[in-house]
Amino acid sequence: MKIRVAVLGASGYAGEELLRILLRHPACEIVAITSRKNAGEDVSTVFPRFTGANLKFVAPDAGELAGKCDAAILALPHGTATEFAIPLLNAGIKVFDISADFRLRDPEQYKRYYKADHPAPELLKRAVYGLPERYREKLRTADLVACAGCYPTSSILPTAPLLEAGLATGRNIVVASCSGVTGAGRKVDLPYIFPECNESLKAYGVIGHRHLPEIEQEMAAAAGVDHLAINFIPHLAPMNRGINSTIIMDAAAGCTMEKIGEVYEKAYGKERFIRILKPGKTSDTKYVFMTNFCEIGYNFDEHTGKIILTSCIDNLTKGASGQAVQCMNIRFGLPEETGLL
């Protein structure tokens, strides 16, 4: 029997990517796709590539959805996600949330970065952070999965094993990331029109971006400390998809290229969706385009004593929808890569 899946907020780019994946997922059946704006329309009106899929958008109604699905994937704006997660969880539906609503374990951090009290702080404890390579065991029994953000996925995967192993000290960590424009969602705003993005590359949100506390939370956990302060600097680049994160960290005494390679081999040698490059090579967004992979390159700079990592993902796949499906596969006991290769 197939998993019956509802996709809430299916008319954005993450929604489109979810449909692309789920439509060829052999163990899933899409039972509902929601969009307030497009309710009543065939999916092909918004996404012509899905002509023939025979799916209609409906207005989101948690009660109705609860009656007919086993899993709900939320590709909703932050805030709205919580509204729908609560009744769905109460109805026993497994919830996989792509928004940022349940990623921060500390409600104080939420308040600081989102300028509002968290609407359901008790759920923060219940939520499992949806990054399979770090939380696979917990995901097997999770009811509420807070899928890792795009920038955090690309930052945490390469750094966590090194922090855990003590090869990096946790000091002076800089994450400089470049993202394609779909990272901003399907947002209709002057900075995102073609002539403004093309031939443009710029940093934004250099102080206090909302993904910062998420990255710090997971890096601190890996380093075994309560808190850890880093610099995270996102940039917008003129491409559709892809994130490249370049990360500079203080190496601990005794760090070498070989040791870094060994730590990665131990941590990720059997991971299906992580590709560790040969020593000294750098990752490229085009090699993960429309895939669920995270490609990681590493270097050790002797002249400054820094570890330099490069890490690429597709922001819509491993950074959002692919990851949600990977988490769902785990939760429902399927092979993790089902529908993702």
Out of 67, 172, 225, 258, the only residue in the binding site for a copy of itself (CB under 8 A) is: 172
> DSSP code of 188?
-
> Cα(101)–Cα(82) distance, rounded to whole angstroms?
7
* Residue 28 designated active-site: no
Binding characters for a copy of itself, 3-42, by CB under 8 A (x = yes): ----------x---------xx------------------
Nearer to a copy of itself, 119 or 289 (CB): 289
- Give residues 295-324 in contact with a copy of itself (rule: CB under 8 A): 295, 297, 299, 301, 303-304, 306, 308, 310, 312
Closest to 184 in 3D by CA, of 197, 195, 173? 197
Question: Of 28, 69, 150, 312, which one is the catalytic site residue?
Answer: 150
> Counting contacts by CB under 8 A, is residue 140 touching a copy of itself?
no
Helix (H), strand (E) at residue 105: none
Nearer to a copy of itself, 51 or 90 (CB): 51
Provide, rounded to whole angstroms, the least separation between the CB of residue 181 and a copy of itself: 4
Closest to 13 in 3D by CA, of 192, 164, 280? 192
Provide, rounded to whole angstroms, the least separation between the CB of residue 283 and a copy of itself: 7
Q: What is the DSSP string of 44-76?
A: HHH-GGGTTS--BEE---HHHHHTT-SEEEE-P
Nearer to a copy of itself, 121 or 204 (CB): 204
> Which amino acid type is present at position 117?
D
- Give residues 239-298 in contact with a copy of itself (rule: CB under 8 A): 239-242, 244, 246, 248, 272, 275, 280, 282-291, 293, 295, 297
Q: What is the DSSP string of 123-160?
A: HHHH-EEE-HHHHHHHHTT-SEEEEPPHHHHHHHHHHH
- Give residues 37-66 in contact with a copy of itself (rule: CB under 8 A): 48-49, 51-52
CB of 128 closer than 8 Å to CB of 323:
no
> DSSP code of 170?
S
Nearer to a copy of itself, 142 or 309 (CB): 309
> Cα(81)–Cα(87) distance, rounded to whole angstroms?
11
Question: Site size for a copy of itself, by CB under 8 A?
Answer: 74
Q: Per-residue b/e over 293-315, b at no fewer than 16 CB within 10 Å?
A: bbbbbbbbeeeeebbbbbbbbbb
Out of 116, 188, 253, 270, the only residue in the binding site for a copy of itself (CB under 8 A) is: 188
Helix (H), strand (E) at residue 174: strand 174-179
Out of 63, 116, 122, 189, the only residue in the binding site for a copy of itself (CB under 8 A) is: 189
Residue 1, beta-bridge partner list: none
- Give residues 192-221 in contact with a copy of itself (rule: CB under 8 A): 192-204, 206-208
Kindly tell me the sign of the dihedral angle through the C-alpha atoms of 35, 319, 325, 83.
negative
Nearer to a copy of itself, 231 or 256 (CB): 231
Nearer to a copy of itself, 166 or 238 (CB): 238
Nearer to a copy of itself, 42 or 64 (CB): 42
Provide, rounded to whole angstroms, the least separation between the CB of residue 27 and a copy of itself: 14
> Counting contacts by CB under 8 A, is residue 153 touching a copy of itself?
no
Provide, rounded to whole angstroms, the least separation between the CB of residue 163 and a copy of itself: 16
Strands 144-147 and 3-8: unpaired
Provide, rounded to whole angstroms, the least separation between the CB of residue 250 and a copy of itself: 8
Active-site positions read 150
